[in-house]
Amino acid sequence: MSINLFDLSGKIALITGSTHGLGMAMAEGLGKAGATILVNGNSSQQKIDDAVAHYESLGIKAKGYKFDVTDEAEVINAVQKIQKEVGPIDILVNNAGIIKRTPLEDMAVADFKQVIDVDLVSPFIVSKHVVRGMIERKQGKIINMCSMMSELGRNTVGAYAAAKGGLKMLTRNMATEWAKHNIQINGIGPGYFATAQTAPIRVDGHPFNEFIINRTPSAKWGDPNDLAGAAIFLSSRASNFVNGHILYVDGGILATIGKPNNED
C-alpha cells in the first residue's frame, strides 16, 4: 500500500497571523492537505470570522481564536481552550509578525522592543506552551517564519533583522532541545512576495520593483502559494528527519551576490 508522505489528514494546525497574506496562503496549503486550521489574529474578531469563512468556502475545516501572541496569559488560555474544543495541536506555524521601517538612529526604543516582542519573543511564548503537549505525545511540528533578513541587513529594518536573526538561532536551539522528543522544528525564510502589502511597489517603473526583479535570479516576485509546498513539507512525515533547518523560499536571492545593472 502506498503512503502519501505529505498527507495531513487528522492533523490540527495553529497558524498565528493567519487572517491574511502569507499566513493565509500557508494555512490554505495545510488545509488542502487535510489539516484542520486554527486561525489566529489579534486585530478584530470580524477579521478572524471572515478568514474562517474563507477557509470553509474552500472545503477546509477551520476555527478561529483571537489572542495576543505576545501575552503569555492569553496564549496559555488559548492553548487550553483549543485542546478542549478541537484537540491537541500537531502543527504550529509561528507566522505573526510586524516590521517598522525606521533608520536605527531615529528609532524609538519602544518601537524596537515591540518588533522584538512580536517577531522573536512571541514564537518562544507560543512554542513553549504548545510544545508541552507535543512532548507528552512524542510528536509534533513547529515552523518559525524567518526571513532573508535572518541572513542579510537592509536599510531601515534593523529591528526586524535583529528579531529574524534571533529567530533563526532560536529555531536551531529549539531543535537542539526538543528533537529527542520526535519533534521537528524548522524555519521558512520567504523572499519578496506579491501580496496586497507590496502591491504599491510592484508597478512597472517603481525603483524597488526593478531592484527585486534584477536581484532575484528567478526574475520575479514570489507567488504566496509558493510557500504552501514548503509549509506542507515541514508539517508532514516527509520532513521527519529534518531539524533546525531554515528553508529559504526566495527565488535564489541568497544564492548570488547579484548582477550589474547592464547585465542580462
pTM metric for this prediction: 0.96
Residue 204 lies in a domain: no
State the CATH number of the domain containing residue 106. 3.40.50.720
Residue 121 lies in a domain: yes
Please give the mean pLDDT across all residues of the chain: 96
What gap in Å lies between CA 10 and CA 178, rounded to an integer?
23
Total tally of structural domains belonging to the chain: 1
**Span 185-191, mean pLDDT?**
98
Residue 261 lies in a domain: no
Each residue of 120-161: pLDDT tens digit?
Answer: 999 999 999 999 999 999 999 999 999 999 999 999 999 999
Each residue of 50-96: pLDDT tens digit?
Answer: 999 999 999 999 999 999 999 999 999 999 999 999 999 999 999 99
Each residue of 200-235: pLDDT tens digit?
Answer: 899 999 999 999 999 999 999 999 999 999 999 999
Residue 77 lies in a domain: yes
Element (H, E) at 38: strand 36-41
Residue 29 lies in a domain: yes
Q: Which residues are catalytic?
A: 160
What gap in Å lies between CA 18 and CA 95, rounded to an integer?
7
What Cα–Cα distance (Å) separates residue 177 from each residue in 128, 133, 166? 12, 15, 16
Please tell me the predicted confidence (pLDDT) of residue 197: 79
DSSP-based three-state secondary structure for 138 = coil
Q: 61: domain range?
A: 12-197+223-251
Residue 215 lies in a domain: no
Please tell me the predicted confidence (pLDDT) of residue 223: 94
